[in-house]
Amino acid sequence: MIGRALDQFSLFLGPARLRALFLLIAMSGLISLILNVIVDEYDWVRTAQSALTLIAVVGAAILIGGRMDASQRGRWLLILAPAFLALGLSMTVLQAFALPLIGAAVGWVFVGLFLFRARTPPGYRAAIRALRKGNISDAIDSMDALIREEPEDVSHYRFRAELLRLDGQLERALRDYHRMIEIEPESALGHNGLAEVELQSGNYERARAAAERAVELAPGDWIALYNLGMIEDRLRASEQVIEHLTQALGLRVPDARHRVLMHLYLLRAYIRLGRTAEADEQLVAIRRQRAGLDEWQHILSNAEAEVLKRVLGEDVEQARALERGELLPAAAG
């Protein structure tokens, strides 16, 4: 759970800001540690250490806040600014009252989280209501209006792209993912979405290039590795399939339905390479993922899953045949 949360945080922050955050914390911690050697010799040392802590906290807030949209930044500013002020006073001019000030800072954060709860923007609420009624076109229209008002918010393009994919409008979805990347060139989500749509369109080489970039930007994200492995399966790049899907499975994939397809693509790769013993191991793994196959069957039976069925339907059927013993591994490659 913690590992997944860290992966999500890394994906959200992006590699450049993540490196900057690491260096900020590491350097401030190292300098503070060095100052401990002379902490009892000079009066200014504790003040300097407090200042370093404040610099690290404020710097981290700027790096993380810079990745948020305007409404998110405003909310967290209202929650954290008073807490930072209290912490700053406790470390500098009001050190005698440090304990109550720290308590007040922590208390305010909890109160602020309740007072300034995140609210779904009206455009999203309208789109979700339309989607629940099965009116994808109305949902897309709601997002069109929101994007006209806020054309630089990448989350709007991402949500609309998902709606467009549901509606089979792959060219428009591609444009939205390209727009995401224009706004945020290091958006792993944008490159990953681009890879998925190119895959759906049958453009495997372009899909592979986008997926490789997504993995480069988010090497610890199993979804990016899964997509790359699936695309490489289509291209029959067996060695690369094994490399990337083995990495993905090592990241503790939480969804049985994705695990079963990973094992299927690995089985195919091993069969193509003539590594039958390892293919048999993947067959055993597929047979352990019956719940994932049942989940796929339920998902693909919905009318809204027509696009997904065109991409994955044959894979799911083959995995089910292997699980039931109706297909031998040698015939799957």
Three-state secondary structure of 184-203: CCCCHHHHHHHHHHHHHCCC
Q: Which of 188, 189, 191, 158 minimizes the C-alpha distance to 176?
A: 158
Task: Identify which of 5-9, 105-109, 180-184, 304-308 has the greatest average pLDDT.
Answer: 180-184
Q: Is residue 171 part of a domain?
A: no
pTM for the complete prediction? 0.66
Tell me the HSE value of 317 on the side-chain side, using a 13 A CA sphere.
8
Domain that holds residue 39: 2-115
The DSSP 8-state label assigned to residue 237 in this structure reads -
Residue with the two structure tokens 């997504």: 214
Q: What is the predicted pLDDT for the residue at 254?
A: 81
> What sign has the CA pseudo-torsion 221, 224, 226, 229?
negative
Q: Is residue 194 part of a domain?
A: no
If DSSP codes are grouped into helix, strand and coil, which group holds residue 15? helix
What average pLDDT does the segment 263-267 reach? 96
Whether 50 contacts 92, CB under 8 Å: yes
At CA 108, angle to CA 103 and CA 113, rounded to 5?
135
Task: Identify which of 7-11, 76-80, 200-204 has the greatest average pLDDT.
Answer: 200-204
Q: What is the predicted pLDDT for the residue at 238?
A: 96
Q: Is residue 32 part of a domain?
A: yes
Whether 32 contacts 52, CB under 8 Å: yes
Average pLDDT, the chain: 80
Q: Is residue 110 part of a domain?
A: yes
Q: How far apart are CA 209 and CA 194, in angstroms?
A: 10
What average pLDDT does the segment 153-175 reach? 90
Q: Is residue 323 part of a domain?
A: no
- Total structural domains within the chain: 1
Q: Is residue 68 part of a domain?
A: yes
Q: In the predicted model, is pLDDT for residue 21 greater than 80?
A: no
Q: Is residue 106 part of a domain?
A: yes
pLDDT tens readout for residues 25-67: 777 777 767 777 675 666 666 667 667 766 776 776 676 666 5
What average pLDDT does the segment 275-289 reach? 94
Q: Is residue 206 part of a domain?
A: no
- pLDDT bucket at 126, cuts 50 / 70 / 90: confident
Q: What is the predicted pLDDT for the residue at 309?
A: 87
DSSP 103-169: HHHHHHHHHHHHHT-----HHHHHHHHHHHTT-HHHHHHHHHHHHHH-TT-HHHHHHHHHHHHHTT-
**214: CB partners within 8 A, 6+ apart:** 188, 191, 192, 195, 221, 224, 227, 228
pLDDT tens readout for residues 251-261: 888 888 999 99
Query: Is the pLDDT higher at 304 or at 190?
Result: 190
